[in-house]
A and B are shown apart, each in its own frame.
Chain A
Amino acid sequence: MMRTPSLAALASLVATAAAAQQNLVSQGSIVGGAEYRSYSFGDNFSAERVSQFAMPVGFIMPIGDRFSFDIGTAYASTRVDLGGTHATYQHFTDTQLRASYIIGSDALVASVMVNLPTGEETTSLRDFNISSSVSSNFLLFPVNSYGSGFSVTPGLAAATTAGSWNLGVAGSVRWNDEFQPFSDSGSSSVRYQPGLEGRFRVGADRLVGSSRLTLGATFSTFGTDEAQGGGLSSGGRYTPGNRFMVDVSLVAPVGSGSMSFYIWDFYRTNGESGDTVSSSTNNSENIFTAGASGAFRVAQKLVLEPVAETRLWSPDQGNGFLVGGGANLRIAVSDRLVLVPGARFDLGNIEDPLGVDHSVTGWSALALLRVGLGAGR
């Protein structure tokens, strides 16, 4: 599925501060486009290059004052180059349908998201290896998972005002159905049941002068994944480590535009595997990111959005960093049509678990399009 939350959630898909009964979504729209991202690695890495071309599409619509829904999926092609050969895996991802409803007159929103398994949850071992090469939390591939079975995620979010602060709290629980991950003859009977996932977030923002300061913290915890069948005669278990994410951002008007400065830190604790006796999987990791982005109107219908960012990766063994920059152009082709082309370049390094350094060079290009459909009410 698409890599998800962005701090930019603060400003778009906008809702009003004044009254919660106004819809979360201001207008219906169809969005889509294409995005290409490639990372080339230095000598002796397990891949010379991993690249992905993704074409996401989504539809979002408000209905009345309280209800809104969105649906989205993507088609992605992932290619891995190694030793003069390459392998490609391409398929649709899962489709996600989410609905939100504003309850009462206070700022309380109930949402439910259904993950429909239109992606290929069952693949050959070879395809799994290719598709999972983009699952890293450190690298920035647009699609990090092609399919993970049917799931339902209900949740609640609330916000209130306390003095000059706006405070928010949100939580969700994700229930996953089991699925058959592999199609190869030796492992086709394996059934995989991901554990329950719970997420909890607190956030706050306020104006500081003419700028907005935003603070947020998200905690995710997971039940135990279970595998049955295949060679796993007695089954297998994996308990994912908890995830912590904290983010701080400051958005300030600058001249005719705005600048945003942000930092966020993602930390995942070690998971555990085993059944009666668990052992650490040593897959903890920490990703620290700091960056600045801007939005400057350079013409009446043209906004330039530069970004510069660095991220530091600290897994249980090894480490890595990326320093990158790029820019998007936001072109208001008409009242209803917005086109966003953009490009980005990253340089960095990955030290593998054996302590060997590998350079990383990444670049990406994208073209996204949004067609507005009106207020939908």
Chain B
Amino acid sequence: MITGLALDTGAAAGRADQRLAVPVGRDEDQRFRGTIFLDPATSHGPPFWRGTPAPSSGQPARLSPIYGPGVARQFAPLFPTPGPPVHWVQFPLPGVIMIATRWIAALAAGVSLAGCGAGPPPAGPAPQEIPALEAESQQHPGDAERMTRLGVAYFEAGQFERARDVLRSSLVINARQYSTHVYLGLAYEELAAFDSARAGFVAARELASDSRQRDEIDGHLNLLTRRELQFAAKQAIAQESTLSTAPPRPNTVAVFPFRYSGSNPDLQPLGRGLTHLMITDLAKVGRLTLLEREQVQALVDELALSEDGRVNPATGARSGRLLRASEVVQGSVQEGANQNQIQLDAAVVSATNASVLATGQAADQLQQLFSLQKAVLFRLLEQLQIPLSPAERRALSERPTADLQAFLAFSRGLEAEDRGDFEAAQAEYRSALARDPNFRAASQRASTVQLSVGAATIPPPVLAGYAPRTDGTGGTQPRSGGTGGVVVVSGRGPILNSGVLNTIPSIGSTLTNRISTQIGPVTQQPGTRAPLPEATGSDNAGSPGVLVGTVVIIITRP
């Protein structure tokens, strides 16, 4: 996954070759740092890659092709005219990507634009400036700003420990430097010191100049959490022998992804959704501590558990021990003989000895999915002999939504989020909200992921305020609305409904509309014409024909 991406030009970066350069920050494993050069002279051929792998690895980059649309949006403001999306695809040569040929011309246009001085200004200090910056810092040891620039240059050069030390020194001189805190956080992040990284970003957030900067930091913190979970999963596997003997944390439950087995690919994401439901519900039971779904998912991904493996008690127990959970919930959704029929199975497995502590099973029509989930849930709790207070029982009976389609969209959103495709996740959550505006989990996830969408493509210099935002509205990514619980949705659905309601209004739909949860204006407009009152002039508020006793038929022949 590309977590940092920027576009500058050879001219802007001081290079004379007039080639368009796309510096790529890093992939998810921190193994790739380099620059993609696009030569306008060979605009019909593929771009070539130049760069060095990050010090931690000698392997080529893994660049995911699924980031095309997001990348396109990132690029789009830089081009004079909007164009089709960039398609990133893996190139046959290691570590090389190519951009669809049709975009080469547009990229070349970007070079010309930059040559005219209209391109983005240079970003933070470049690695080649390090010697000069070191000399300057020695001459001005009390200059926090120069020190920060040196730290940034170290960072850009991949010298993260040096960057960390210099940036910390800069903050000792002046603690109120937003950019320095950001780069220090980034340096810590590169060094896998996630707590320190978080502290750096939190400090930066407090110094942010506007809500947008705060949103960007919040978004980056979301990404940091994901990376931390992935790192923790790797660490857990690496330390499996130690963790296997460590005692589990009592009453700590890990719910593993529910497996779907059936022929309908549309229902495949239900596994994610049901996992979310189980965790949400079990978390309402006071005596249980639930691990975050993302934490479990990170381990599952890292272990690359097979679909079958996830429901194997032994594998589950092993995974549970790695997470230091005392119990593991595993489950599956199976398609019945009739495609509308599904069966839900779940089991609670002891992470200590892989013994099955409880099982639950229920089958019914697909539209009864939420009832099935509740039935299985209560069965598991009953077998575990966990007493429930009336309040807990009431809370457990609550359903997230009554709309199965909304829940499916939500499940698809979770799936997209898990694979790091935040834009797709956001679209799915919005789709779920469009169907059911009361679907709070979808609203919450949409708010969170909205921050991540932009954060995933913000280059460090922009995040730190060193480089200007590059979109048409002065920002690096679609503005997040992420401070609250409401996410405004837009789509064909609302506009379609608006069309139907305004051309064929009916009492039932109007009434339902008034009482449905509203995220939008509430106003009464003139309705369908009342023919006779209008023809007789009785609809005039200034002279209504009330109690006059005669009807003035104004339609008689003159």
Contact = CB atoms under 8 A, between A and B. Distances in A.
Q: Which of B495, B506, B529 has the most CB of A within 10 A?
A: B495
Contacts of B31: none
B496 A109 contact: yes
Contacts of B489: 17, 212
Interface string B46-73: 0000000000000000000000000000
B519 A251 contact: yes
Contact of A132 (B367, B434, B513, B539): B539
Contact of A98 (B437, B504, B556): B504
B474 to A, nearest CB: 11
Contacts of B514: 6, 8, 340, 368
Interface in B391-429: 398-399, 402-406, 409, 427-428
A71 B551 CA distance: 32
Interface string B516-543: 1111111111111111111111111111
B339 to A, nearest CB: 13
B92 interface: no
Contacts of B406: 26
Interface residues of A, number: 180
B507 A225 contact: no
B265 interface: no
Given A207-B488, A225-B555, A256-B484, A72 B542 contact: no
Interface in A304-332: 305, 307, 309, 313, 315, 317-318, 320, 328, 330, 332
B494 A205 contact: yes
Interface stretch (B252-260, B278-286, B475-483): B475-483
29 contacts: A7-B525, A8-B514, A9-B494, A13-B509, A15-B492, A17-B434, A26-B435, A46-B547, A113-B505, A135-B533, A144-B539, A157-B496, A158-B496, A161-B492, A166-B495, A210-B450, A216-B502, A225-B531, A231-B556, A234-B557, A240-B534, A256-B485, A256-B486, A273-B556, A283-B540, A289-B525, A313-B541, A370-B516, A375-B367
Chain B interface helix/strand/loop/mixed = loop
B522 A135 contact: no
Interface of B: 82, 367, 398-399, 402-406, 409, 427-428, 430-431, 434-438, 450, 473, 478-551, 553-558
A162 B398 CA distance: 39
Interface string A271-282: 101111101010
A14 B434 contact: yes
Contacts of B546: 46-47, 50, 80, 82, 129-130, 133
Contacts of B409: 16, 18
B555 A350 contact: no
Q: Which of A18, A199, A214, A237 has the most CB of B within 10 A?
A: A18
A58 B507 contact: yes
Contacts of B434: 14-17
Contact of B518 (A4, A12, A70, A232): A12
B541 to A, nearest CB: 4
A264 interface: yes
Given A159-B492, A206-B490, A16 B431 contact: yes
Q: Which of B435, B491, B509, B533 has the most CB of A within 10 A?
A: B509
A301 to B, nearest CB: 10
Contact of A17 (B490, B543, B550, B556): B490
A136 interface: yes
A363 to B, nearest CB: 15
B485 A113 contact: no
Nearest to A282: B537
A305 B551 contact: no
Q: Nearest 5 pairs between A and B by C-beta?
A: A17-B491, A210-B481, A170-B499, A72-B507, A70-B508
A169 B491 contact: no
Contacts of A158: 496, 499
Contact of A262 (B508, B509, B523, B540): B523
A245 B525 contact: yes
B556 A232 contact: yes
Q: Which of B478, B519, B536 has the most CB of A within 10 A?
A: B519
B435 A70 contact: no
A318 to B, nearest CB: 4
A136 B497 contact: no
Contact of A317 (B493, B498, B542): B542
Interface in A354-374: 368-370, 372, 374
Contacts of A269: none
B542 A129 contact: no
Contact of B521 (A236, A245, A260, A352): A260
Given A24-B496, A273-B554, A330-B517, A132 B530 contact: yes
A11 B503 contact: no
A153 B82 contact: no
A32 B508 CA distance: 9
A144 B495 CA distance: 26
B492 A160 contact: yes
Given A135-B539, A274-B558, A335-B402, A73 B507 contact: yes
Given A24-B500, A264-B523, A372-B402, A320 B513 contact: no
Nearest to B400: A335
B525 A11 contact: no
B547 A132 contact: no
Nearest to A19: B431
A313 B540 CA distance: 11
A162 B437 CA distance: 24
Nearest to A130: B546
A4 B525 contact: yes
A319 to B, nearest CB: 8
A210 B496 contact: no
B523 A293 contact: yes
A36 interface: no
Contact of B512 (A70, A182, A214, A335): A70
Contacts of B527: 1-5, 144
B491 to A, nearest CB: 2
A181 B524 contact: no
Contact of B498 (A9, A100, A328): A9
Interface string A155-184: 101111101001111111000100001100
B527 to A, nearest CB: 4
Nearest to B487: A253
A320 B542 contact: yes
A159 to B, nearest CB: 4
A6 B521 CA distance: 8
A232 B488 contact: no
Contacts of A40: none
B398 A335 contact: yes
